Amino acid sequence: MIELRIEGMACQGCATSVERAIATADPAAKTEIDLQSGHARIESDLPRDRLVAVVEAAGYDVPAS
């Protein structure tokens, strides 16, 4: 399980955009997004840095943790 803090998600539409971007990169991924905390929990075979790149390409920031 990979957890990312994602900045810039303001609504359910934003969360859906992130989920779709991750699903495009890894169709087998399971993603849970908590808008209140700004965190995403992702079960994926992709490495963390690839998931960060996917989220950032969708227009959101993932601060270094």
Give dist(CA 42, CA 50) in Å, integer: 12
| The predicted structure's pLDDT at residue 30 | 97
CA distance 27 to 8: 23
Q: Which amino acid is at 31?
A: T
> Is the overall model pTM greater than 0.85, yes or no?
yes
Bridge-based pairing of strands 2-5 and 39-43 is: antiparallel
The amino acid occupying position 38 is: G
Predicted confidence (pLDDT) at residue 65 exceeds the cutoff of 80:
no
Dihedral angle of Cα 10, 33, 28, 53, to the nearest 10 degrees = 50
Which overall architecture, per CATH, does domain 2-57 show? 2-Layer Sandwich (3.30)
Q: What average pLDDT does the segment 4-8 reach?
A: 95
What's the pLDDT band for 64 if we cut at 50, 70, 90? confident
- Interval 7-61: pLDDT, tens: 999 999 999 999 999 999 999 999 999 999 999 999 999 999 999 999 999 999 9
Q: Which residue has the tokens 């303001």?
A: 10
